[in-house]
Amino acid sequence: MKIHGVTELETLKADILISGVDKNSLNSTGRKELDRRFDGRLAGWLGKAIKTEQKELTQLPALSGGIPSVLFIGLGDRADLEEDTLREAFGLAGKKLRKEGAATVAVDIDSFTAAGISAEDAAYLTAEGLVLGSYEYPGMKTDQRESAPFLDELLLFTAEDSEDATAAAEIGRAFGYSVNEARTLVNMPANVLTAVRMAEYAEELAQEYGFETEILGKAQMEELGMGAILAVNQGSSEEPRLIVLKYKATEDFSDPLALVGKGVTFDTGGYSLKPKDGIVGMKGDMGGAAAVLGAMRIIGELRPNKNVMAVIGATDNMVSGNAFKPDDVITSLSGKTIEVLNTDAEGRLVLADAVTYAKRLGATRLIDVATLTGGVIVALGMDKTGVLTNDEEFFETFLNASKESGEFVWRLPLTENDKKRLRKSDVADLNNSPGRDGHMIFGGGFVGEFVGETPWIHLDIAGTSNAPAAYDFGPKGGTGVMVRTLAMLVEQLESK
């Protein structure tokens, strides 16, 4: 998508123009302002039923000159307008314009500014929201029609030329497309997106952005002693992969942040088999890996002054004569032994070896992302990401990033009593499933046992990684949740 700034209405040529209207836009003063901005070309519209409530859309023909129609977005009371609302409104506009195949879209940026929302912020939200809202998963149907071209060009119409607004829109574009890439990974069938194919995708990403790569196969994992991820992989005919990407902002790669993703490409539950209704959709159990890869794409685009590594444990969890079983005792990469009480508590085993390896590579901060437990859905619902942490300062920085991205998170406690229950076993150092009560806390807390004193945040996205129905930003399916927050966290750490 090409992005350009335009200051003269006469030179503006697009399939559609998007403009904002608030509750005062249609009173006498508001009409005069609209007339002035559009050189009197709105006179035929102002008697129409233009909706001004927040996120309401009204499309009307036709602006004389190079614009066939205008899409009005209702802003409600401009004093109450928030960035999240504006992003959602552009998401809805993106869905509508995708159906119409609008290839060149112009946006009246000045009409979306408000207290606290500058032209640069509006431009960023415009690009991000339109790209997010326009997402479609192409699928694999034999009669699939080719999608109409959409958003080949975005024109930012402003009274004064603003390079800052154009630059902000470019960042919004990068965020939106990276989220959409993560969504596609989550939506791909598990027989297509295997652990090997995920590693190939990561290598393609690395080649595009100049990341250093390290891909460990099964034999290398066995040599290193990655007994936790290998146990999960035991029942599979597909090889596992441990994927490492490094974005080097400095030659010495000092003080790197590690983004660690759970990449379970399909989860049967193993011998603790999931029920027939619960097993459908388990192709998305690699949502944490998708979030990390999406964030790395943004990092590659924006080139922050902060060293970052991605570490992803990729495998499926299958049932066979070789599969690991309840009552097995396995030895992790860290040397800690684990009593397996539930083979469906496999993601924490994958993450145990992944965070241990990230620490060996020098990570000074860790954040792991995983579709880890149904317990987070029971506790928080489908629209909230659960968080655990061992470091207050790191968490506050992360919380600021999540507020900036508009991705809601909620912290749960991890107490010493919780840790004692994780360490309760007659035969091993840890058990992988102390009980169903506090399930989200035990899942993340188990990963924390391998973190030590390293500042750490755990994100459980089991509820938020998949949308059960269409919503403002797109269709049902993968959401790409936490891609934007992880990238913004890197930006927050860069500024410190």
Q: Which residues are catalytic?
A: 274, 348
- Under DSSP, the state recorded for 474 is B
- Using alpha carbons, list the distances in angstroms from residue 349 to 326, 339, 341: 13, 11, 12
Please give the full DSSP string across 151-186, using - where no structure is assigned.
-SEEEEE-SS--HHHHHHHHHHHHHHHHHHHHHHHH
d(CA 86, CA 100): 21
Residue with tokens 């990401």: 385
Q: Residue 417, Cβ neighbours under 10 Å: how many?
A: 9
| Extended strands (E) in 268-360 | 308-317, 329-331, 337-339
d(CA 472, CA 249): 35
SS3 category, 74: strand
- Using alpha carbons, list the distances in angstroms from residue 320 to 113, 273, 280: 59, 12, 19
Paired residues of 368 in beta bridges: 260, 458
Nearest to 465 by CA among 373, 349, 352, 367: 373
d(CA 70, CA 75): 15
User: Is the distance from CB of 330 to CB of 337 less than 8 angstroms?
Assistant: yes
- 496 is written with which tokens? 């410190």
